[in-house]
Structure 1
């Protein structure tokens, strides 16, 4: 859909609320600030000014402070206004041709607006209604061959994100992204919906894991275990979840009993042997996430 033809009301009703992905063309043509952004600007000027910090896999900063370079579209602003927004909700990715971000889905129930500032990328996405296999306590897929996605039983799509295009990726959608352009720059705006989540298979897995995290933290006093298993090493994972913390976690897991959470623990534990069998693939996957 062309950006100019998309109203907020239509987007909210047909995509944002029902959590349906959308490819939006020609967003960049309406944002003059993007034309002067290059890799040198990102790596040198923005970092040196302290406007962005290097995270493990991306650069991140406060959206309003970056508007001279990455103007926030009105569509994105309206969405953020209905969401829980963390302090550094703007993420910047840089990559060169051939770089692949492997199959995964994002934590914290975040949705993403991903704008292609420079270059081109090929995307493949899979619905949380028909998820692929993941490693225990992780959001990284065990999928090796993309051919597993082919077939009527899998809700999936693929597309190319050209310079100036933007994709809206709802919470919990699997995605794999391949850089096609020589120089690729993407800006993401991420946030967490406040309520009304789609009750997908992956949603139930996530809230069961979060309930398990509450049990480990409050009952067993094992907060470090939670940070390692669920947060993948992120400190105070539950305390900062979704930019809100425990209040949100307790609310979204209210339907999950302790027994159901322990059942999830058993399911995840049964898949632990695959971690050993696939240890080389895991190491390669983690390395691939890093920017080039």
Structure 2
């Protein structure tokens, strides 16, 4: 079923309401009316000069240490969330994205059980986000959708939302929500703060899949070398304590069932491999390309 995302002005949203109505139940929200950046300074040239250190670059973004100055001010609601005792925050929890018009992400959800607060700075983006209860088929062991170029969302199969963020909007994207993002204007700049709850959420299909894969990664370390570019020992920015919390209730039988389920996805992956690789290459080549 296609539904509308809730949008609330920052002036009408208390921290307590955000926590009780959106953060804890893990429901997406667009917070509107944020003005915590100086566009006179925060130009594409400024971003390229200050935030494109190749040593920090990952798949589609640049990690950055927290910035809180006259150019980029961290919203107070973000600070409050990052300081919560029940959230794990990595050493570099801020990400920067800058893409040209026509840039499209592969449908995916974020690894490390990440919640995200994604703020539109310049430009606008179309988001298609899909509930973790009706997820897309997954590339085996990974977080990207196992779908071809002609894939379309079905109201009978997927619970999803389709909306646009504009400058000053901040999207709360809970963990495990699939998202496909289309950049719509000449230059589209986003800031993203990420954090991981210290507790698992197995109420959805993808939440259950994640704890089973965490158990696999903990039990069979070779999986980390084959499939995952990140360091498993830094899972969620915390590592062992978080890993144990997530997979403590997963039995070996359940873990092996997950292993077999993932293996069953390989025939479909072989059929779609060229299409997925093409989309992945287009995605990577256009990151931080503003010409």
TM-score (ref. length: structure 1): 0.89
Contact kept in structure 2, 1:22 and 1:167, CA below 8 Å: yes
- How far does residue 23 in structure 1 lie from its aligned partner after superposition? 1.0
Q: Equivalent residue for 2:159? A: 155
Unpaired stretches in structure 1, ≥5 consecutive residues: none
1:43-122 equivalences in 2 (<5 Å):
43-47=48-52, 53-64=56-67, 66-82=68-84, 83-122=87-126
Q: Equivalent residue for 1:206? A: 210
1:176-223 CA-to-partner distances (Å, cap 9, x unmatched) read 000001111100000111226352110111111111111113xxxx3x
Tell me, what secondary structure is at the counterpart of 2:185?
Answer: coil
Q: Equivalent residue for 1:228? A: 226
Relative distance call for 1:32 and 1:215 in structure 2 (3 A) is: closer
Within the alignment, does 1:25 sit opposite 2:32 as a pair?
yes
Relative distance call for 1:54 and 1:213 in structure 2 (3 A) is: closer
Tell me, what secondary structure is at the counterpart of 1:124?
Answer: strand
Relative distance call for 1:75 and 1:196 in structure 2 (3 A) is: farther
Within the alignment, does 1:183 sit opposite 2:187 as a pair?
yes
1:246 aligned to 234, 240, 246, which one?
240
- Kindly tell me the number of residue pairs found equivalent between the two proteins: 277
Q: Equivalent residue for 2:254? A: 260
Q: Equivalent residue for 1:7? A: 14
1:233-280 CA-to-partner distances (Å, cap 9, x unmatched) read 23xx32010001122111111110011101111111111122221110
Relative distance call for 1:122 and 1:137 in structure 2 (3 A) is: same
Give the distance between the partners of 1:69 and 1:46, measured in 2 at CA.
13
Give the distance between the partners of 1:56 and 1:200, measured in 2 at CA.
26
2:147 aligned to 143, 146, 152, which one?
143
Within the alignment, does 1:129 sit opposite 2:133 as a pair?
yes
Contact kept in structure 1, 2:42 and 2:71, CA below 8 Å: yes
1:78-97 CA-to-partner distances (Å, cap 9, x unmatched) read 11112111011110001111
What is the RMSD of the two structures over their aligned residues, measured on CA atoms? 2.0
- How far does residue 37 in structure 1 lie from its aligned partner after superposition? 0.8
Give the distance between the partners of 2:61 and 2:198, measured in 1 at CA.
25
1:18-52 CA-to-partner distances (Å, cap 9, x unmatched) read 00000111113xx24355211100101445xx799
Contact kept in structure 2, 1:38 and 1:185, CA below 8 Å: no
Relative distance call for 1:38 and 1:272 in structure 2 (3 A) is: same
Contact kept in structure 2, 1:52 and 1:61, CA below 8 Å: no
TM-score (ref. length: structure 2): 0.89
Give the distance between the partners of 1:114 and 1:201, measured in 2 at CA.
24
Give the number of the structure whose residues are more often helix, by fraction.
1
Tell me, what secondary structure is at the counterpart of 2:56?
Answer: strand
Give the distance between the partners of 1:120 and 1:6, measured in 2 at CA.
22
Contact kept in structure 2, 1:121 and 1:177, CA below 8 Å: yes
